[in-house]
């Protein structure tokens, strides 16, 4: 593993649904400031890893350590794990044990944002409203948990203006500046994908988890998306965890690729190393040499 | 031109034939329904013996009406939809916004002047009916509708037990004044707080439930409250109810004929109308407060989170919104306004019993919210006026007795007309009278969101 400074360390993650083992003792790290791609055939357990990392599923066993500052010492993490707390402050910075945190806390405190395989925008709200809702927690604080906002305090008005400014910035980034007042559900598909990313970015995440962001996009929209992701990473020192089937996207933008098959890691390394790994090729083609011999034998009979 | 006409004729003919076939099917269905319900009536003759009286004429009328209505609907609807589908020239947004503002100001001014206008038009004798039955009664339901709109319309949580919070408010006021001697103005906020606490108590266990399951549990909660009120006789006096609830005073001045009364203090001649008018202003103020708070909340993070929750709960959680506390606040605030309305109801009636808080009450309030268009303040108010005002109007239709005979009581057809109104709204305005959604914030211009894009919520 190349990662010198891991933002997210997945350690021995296992997820069982009844008798089915969706993820089996998976360990990998996502380095700070890098784009880590998670690939694998359909049903390999990629989205399950995402759901565990964002608190939507509670893993059967394993540890997911997210550290904001620098790399914390191993014994400090172990002390935190022993203490039973969900997060703690180490000399290097705050450390979060994601497997213990409920979904909204993962987003609000650990600063992990995500998008969904099937777009989940607030389609009946405008584009601008979608981006304002994403800034719920700081705005809630500024509105004094609604009380100050209700009596019209200036502090809330200022905070709302700042939220609108941030929304405007992201609208410009994704090229939807002129559609701020349209309903999100009215946007074309590609624009909805970009808006979902912008909405996630409005929560000011440290780690952005993208679940098949290029699914259903045409080549031009895909090119625009990769450009957007690269520019976001540059400008915001962001780390990205990416699930993607479009290999051109994966190979072009990721720094590090983890390959899953049947819930197990079969390869982990740079895009070039993974591309030439025979096990990855076999997993994607779905046939192993041994089986080819067997099929030929059956035909011969 | 001639070719076009010739081509259109067979199309029209085939459409007519299809409509006739469809209408005939509807008539057949109506016949099937009408025969068991209408065809035979058991009466009692002079000797107290049951006799069977056939009423085939009723069946014929019902079948004929169904046929005609279906045919008219099939033939008229395409033209109607064609007309509404045409894009309407939109007024410039700024002008429209200012127009809306002016209209709402005029509306509030009219409401404030309403008792005086009524007094001027019908005089003292007839004014009580118009101010109390139409004014106060409708405003109570407007307020209940606006309160429930927070839960159902904004947060998308279907609550079929809203009358429970209305009851909690009413009984809090009654019991506090009976046992501790509190006046109305002290009971009012306490009733709201108690109802809000009950909202949270209901909210906690049902938060895991969604959609139909949530609706059924809230319905059951409404019934539980009512059954407790009936059976906990030592406290609530059961079916007999609680009477002698103190009436609201005007800053300490009671509305009576005594020397310390309101009339004597201001040098008016005593009239029971003073209290009615005062009650009208109290409920108007309460309703406007509800509206103001709701409009304000919609522009705050909590209100936007409610609407986001209605649109997509999973996405909310991925953005760090605590959906549990967000749902609880919706329940609590909605219930709180229900409690205020209940407190006012108790003080206005002076007497309450569990009869006033049946499921019917919850159903009417939900119907008002759905008819008005979920989430729309104006729509809810219009629907309340139509439904409650409509019911009251039925009492006024005495001339129908001349047509249908002296036994005819138009108020008995109230539910039938509600049903008919619901069907019509479903046909022409499936998202309620005001189905579009007005965004809570805008960058350049406020554009209404089309009804089809706004979700109803899944609990």
- The average confidence (pLDDT) of chain B is 84
- Classify domain A119-204 at the CATH topology level: Rossmann fold (3.40.50)
- For residues B177 and B184, give the distance between their C-alpha atoms in angstroms, rounded to a whole number: 8
The pLDDT tens digits for A37-65 are: 998 888 888 899 989 999 899 999 988 98
Query: Which of A103, A183, A200 lies nearest to residue B449, judging by beta carbons?
Result: A183
Interface test with A, best of B298, B320, B442, B453 (most A CBs within 10 A): B320
Look up residue A121 and give its DSSP letter. -
The pLDDT tens digits for B23-59 are: 899 999 988 988 888 888 888 888 888 888 888 888 8
Structurally, what CATH architecture does the domain formed by B102-396+429-453 represent? Answer: Orthogonal Bundle (1.10)
Residue A165: pLDDT band (50, 70, 90) is very high
Q: Distance between the two ends of chain B, CA-based, in angstroms?
A: 56
> Which residues, 6 or more positions from B106, have their beta carbon under 8 angstroms from its beta carbon?
none
Buried b (16+ CB within 10 A) or exposed e, A213-244: bbbebeeebbebbbebbeebbeeeebbbbbbb
State residue B92's pLDDT score.
53
Return the CATH number of A1-110+206-301, one of 3.40.50.261, 3.40.50.300, 2.102.10.10, 1.10.8.100: 3.40.50.300
Query: Which residues on neighbouring strands pair with residue B243, listed in sequence order?
Result: B351
Q: Is B429 on the interface with A (CB under 8 A)?
A: no
- For residues B379 and B130, give the distance between their C-alpha atoms in angstroms, rounded to a whole number: 22
Residues 174-193 on B with a CB inside 8 Å of A are: none
Residue A89: pLDDT band (50, 70, 90) is confident
Mean pLDDT of A98-119: 89
10 Å CB burial of residue A251 (0-12, 13-18, 19+) is middle
What residues of B are in contact with residue A54 (Cβ under 8 Å)?
318
Interface test with A, best of B208, B319, B330 (most A CBs within 10 A): B319
Is B437 in contact with A186 (Cβ distance < 8 A)? no
- For residues B88 and B90, give the distance between their C-alpha atoms in angstroms, rounded to a whole number: 6
The pLDDT tens digits for B55-92 are: 888 888 889 999 998 888 888 766 555 555 444 444 45
Query: Which of A124, A129, A186 lies nearest to residue B304, judging by beta carbons?
Result: A129
Query: Which of B305, B437, B444 lies nearest to residue A133, judging by beta carbons?
Result: B305
State residue A2's pLDDT score.
40
Query: Which of A124, A139, A186 lies nearest to residue B437, judging by beta carbons?
Result: A124
pLDDT of A298 higher than 70:
no
Is B300 in contact with A143 (Cβ distance < 8 A)? yes
Asked if residues A211 and A50 have their Cβ atoms less than 8 Å apart, the reply is yes
Query: Which residues on neighbouring strands pair with residue B258, listed in sequence order?
Result: none
Q: Is B46 on the interface with A (CB under 8 A)?
A: no
- For residues A39 and A48, give the distance between their C-alpha atoms in angstroms, rounded to a whole number: 12
Is A137 in contact with B453 (Cβ distance < 8 A)? no
Look up residue A126 and give its DSSP letter. B
Question: How far, in Å, are B216, B242, B341 from residue B163 at the CA level?
Answer: 14, 18, 10
Listed by start position, the domains of chain A span 1-110+206-301, 119-204
Pairing mode, strands A20-31 and A6-17:
antiparallel
State residue B85's pLDDT score.
47
Listed by start position, the domains of chain B span 2-79, 102-396+429-453
pLDDT of A229 higher than 50:
yes
The pLDDT tens digits for B321-348 are: 999 999 999 999 999 999 999 999 999 9
Between residues B345 and B114, which one has the greater pLDDT? B345
**A268-282, B33-47, B146-160, B407-421, range with greatest mean pLDDT:** B146-160
Query: Which of B293, B318, B443 lies nearest to residue A128, judging by beta carbons?
Result: B443
- For residues B63 and B38, give the distance between their C-alpha atoms in angstroms, rounded to a whole number: 11
Residue A207: pLDDT band (50, 70, 90) is very high
State residue B78's pLDDT score.
63
Residue in this structure with the two tokens 């002079």, named with its chain if needed: B46
State residue B87's pLDDT score.
47
- For residues B13 and B392, give the distance between their C-alpha atoms in angstroms, rounded to a whole number: 45
Asked if residues B112 and B284 have their Cβ atoms less than 8 Å apart, the reply is yes
Is A125 in contact with B319 (Cβ distance < 8 A)? no
Q: What are the backbone dihedrals phi and psi of residue B278, each rounded to the nearest 5 degrees, phi first? A: -60, -45
pLDDT of B10 higher than 90:
no
pLDDT of B141 higher than 90:
yes
Asked if residues B309 and B326 have their Cβ atoms less than 8 Å apart, the reply is yes
Query: Which residues on neighbouring strands pair with residue A29, listed in sequence order?
Result: A9
Nearest Cα residue to B274 out of B112, B113, B140, B115: B115
Query: Which of A104, A122, A181 lies nearest to residue B320, judging by beta carbons?
Result: A104
> Which residues, 6 or more positions from B264, have their beta carbon under 8 angstroms from its beta carbon?
B257, B258, B270
Give the count of beta carbons closer than 10 Å to the beta carbon of residue B447: 17
Q: What are the backbone dihedrals phi and psi of residue A210, each rounded to the nearest 5 degrees, phi first? A: -110, 120
- Chain B nearest-CA residue for A107: B320
3-state secondary structure B375-391: CCHHHHHHHHHHHHHHH
3-state secondary structure chain B: CHHHHHHHHHHHHHHHHHHHHHHHHHHHHHHHHHHHHHHEEEEECCCCCEEEEECHHHHHHHHHHHHHHHHHHHHHHHHHHHHHHCCCCCCCHHHHHHHHHHHHHHHHHHHHHHHHHHHHHHHHHHHHHHHHHHHHHHHHHHHHHHHHHHHHHHCCCCCCCHHHHHHHHHHHHHHHHHHHCCCHHHHHHHHHHHHHHHHHHHHHHHCCCCHHHHHHHHHHHHHHHHHHHHHCHHHHCHHHCEECCCCCCECCECCCCCCCCHHHHHCCCCCCHHHHHHHHHHHHHHHHHHHHHHHHHHCCHHHHHHHHHHHCHHHHHHCCCCHHHHHHHHHHHHHHHHHHHHHHHHHHHCEECHHHHCHHHHHHHHHHHHHHCCCCHHHHHHHHHHHHHHHHHHHHCCCHHHHHCCCCCHHHHHHHHHHHHHHHHHHHCCCCCCCCECCCCCCCCCCCECHHHCCCCCC
Asked if residues A28 and A258 have their Cβ atoms less than 8 Å apart, the reply is yes
State residue A192's pLDDT score.
93
Q: Is B305 on the interface with A (CB under 8 A)?
A: yes
Interface test with B, best of A104, A115, A137 (most B CBs within 10 A): A104
- For residues A255 and B397, give the distance between their C-alpha atoms in angstroms, rounded to a whole number: 79
Give B91→chain A minimum CA distance, Å.
17
Between residues A120 and B458, which one has the greater pLDDT? A120
Question: What is residue A41's three-state secondary structure?
Answer: coil
- Chain A nearest-CA residue for B307: A125
State residue B195's pLDDT score.
95
Give B342→chain A minimum CA distance, Å.
24
State residue B5's pLDDT score.
53
* Sheet of strand A20-31, all strands in order from the earlier edge strand to the far edge: A20-31, A6-17, A61-67, A93-97, A87-90
Percent of chain A whose predicted confidence (pLDDT) is above 90: 27
Query: Which residues on neighbouring strands pair with residue A90, listed in sequence order?
Result: A93
Nearest Cα residue to B374 out of B257, B262, B294: B294
Complex ipTM, two decimals?
Answer: 0.87
State residue A288's pLDDT score.
54
Mean pLDDT of B291-316: 92
pLDDT of B378 higher than 80:
yes
State residue B452's pLDDT score.
76
State residue B183's pLDDT score.
84
Tell me the two tokens of residue B144.
Answer: 């209940």
Query: Which residues on neighbouring strands pair with residue B444, listed in sequence order?
Result: none
Distance of CA B304 to the CA centre of its chain: 24
């Amino acid at each position: 593993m190349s990662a010198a400074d891991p933002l997210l360390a997945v350690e021995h993650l296992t997820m069982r649904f009844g008798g089915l083992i969706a993820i089996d003792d998976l360990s990998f790290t996502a380095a700070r400031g890098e784009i880590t791609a998670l690939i694998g055939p359909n049903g390999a357990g990629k989205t399950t890893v995402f759901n565990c990392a964002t608190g939507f599923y509670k893993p059967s066993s394993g540890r997911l350590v997210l550290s904001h500052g620098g790399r914390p010492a191993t014994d400090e993490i172990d002390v935190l794990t022993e203490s039973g707390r969900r997060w703690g402050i180490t000399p290097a910075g705050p450390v979060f044990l994601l497997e213990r945190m409920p979904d909204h806390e993962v987003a609000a405190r650990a600063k992990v944002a995500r998008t969904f395989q099937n777009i989940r925008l607030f389609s009946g709200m405008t584009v601008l409203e979608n981006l304002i809702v994403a800034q719920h927690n700081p705005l809630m604080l500024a509105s004094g948990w609604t009380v100050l906002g209700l009596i019209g305090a200036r502090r809330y008005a200022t905070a709302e203006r700042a939220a609108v400014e941030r929304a405007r910035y992201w609208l410009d980034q994704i090229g939807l500046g002129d559609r701020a007042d349209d309903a999100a559900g009215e946007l074309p598909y590609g624009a909805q994908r970009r808006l979902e990313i912008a909405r996630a970015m409005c929560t000011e995440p440290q780690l952005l988890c993208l679940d098949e962001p290029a699914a259903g996009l045409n080549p031009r929209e895909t090119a625009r998306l990769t450009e957007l992701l690269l520019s976001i990473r540059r400008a915001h020192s962001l780390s990205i965890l990416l699930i993607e089937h479009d290999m051109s996207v994966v190979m072009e933008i990721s720094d590090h690729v983890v390959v899953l098959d049947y819930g197990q890691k079969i390869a982990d390394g740079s895009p070039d190393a993974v591309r030439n790994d025979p096990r990855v090729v076999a997993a994607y083609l779905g046939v192993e040499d041994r089986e080819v011999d067997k099929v030929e034998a059956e035909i011969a009979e | 031109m001639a070719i076009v006409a010739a081509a259109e004729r067979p199309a029209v003919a085939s459409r007519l034939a299809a409509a006739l076939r469809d209408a005939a099917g509807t008539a057949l269905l109506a016949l099937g329904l009408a025969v068991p319900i209408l065809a035979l009536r058991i009466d009692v003759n002079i000797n107290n013996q049951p006799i069977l009286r056939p009423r085939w004429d009723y069946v014929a009328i019902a079948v004929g009406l169904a046929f005609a209505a279906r045919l008219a609907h099939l033939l008229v609807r395409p033209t109607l939809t064609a007309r509404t589908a045409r894009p309407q020239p939109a007024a410039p947004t700024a002008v429209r916004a200012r127009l809306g503002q002016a209209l709402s100001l005029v509306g509030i001014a009219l409401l404030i002047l309403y008792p005086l206008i009524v007094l001027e038009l019908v005089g003292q004798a007839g004014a009580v009916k118009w101010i109390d039955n139409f004014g106060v009664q409708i405003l109570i339901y407007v307020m209940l509708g606006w309160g429930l709109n927070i839960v159902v319309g904004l947060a998308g949580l279907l609550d079929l037990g809203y009358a429970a919070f209305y009851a909690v408010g009413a009984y809090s006021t009654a019991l506090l004044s009976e046992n501790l001697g509190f006046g109305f103005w002290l009971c009012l906020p306490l009733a709201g707080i108690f109802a809000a606490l009950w909202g949270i108590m209901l909210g906690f266990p049902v938060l895991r439930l969604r959609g139909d399951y949530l609706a059924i549990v809230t319905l059951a909660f409404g019934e539980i409250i009512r059954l407790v009120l009936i059976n906990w006789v030592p406290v609530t006096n059961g079916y007999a109810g609680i009477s002698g609830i103190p009436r609201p005073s005007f800053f300490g001045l009671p509305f009576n004929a005594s020397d310390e009364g309101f009339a004597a203090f201001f040098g008016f001649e005593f009239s029971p109308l003073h209290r009615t008018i005062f009650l009208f202003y109290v409920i108007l103020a309460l309703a406007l407060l509800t509206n103001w708070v709701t409009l304000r909340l919609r522009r705050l993070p909590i209100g936007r989170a409610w609407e986001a929750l209605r649109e997509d709960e999973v996405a909310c959680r991925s953005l760090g919104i605590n959906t549990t506390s967000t749902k609880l606040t919706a329940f609590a605030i909605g219930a709180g306004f229900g409690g205020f309305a209940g407190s006012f109801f108790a003080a206005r009636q002076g007497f309450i019993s569990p009869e006033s808080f049946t499921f019917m009450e919850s159903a009417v309030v939900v119907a008002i919210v759905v008819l008005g268009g979920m989430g729309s303040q104006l729509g809810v108010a219009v629907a309340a006026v139509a439904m409650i005002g409509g019911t009251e109007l039925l009492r006024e239709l005495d001339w129908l007795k001349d047509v249908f005979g002296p036994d005819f009581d138009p108020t008995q057809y109230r539910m039938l007309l509600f049903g008919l109104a619901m069907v019509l709204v479903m046909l022409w305005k499936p998202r309620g009278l005001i189905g579009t959604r007005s965004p809570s914030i805008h960058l350049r211009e406020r554009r209404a969101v089309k009804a089809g894009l706004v979700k109803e919520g899944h609990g």
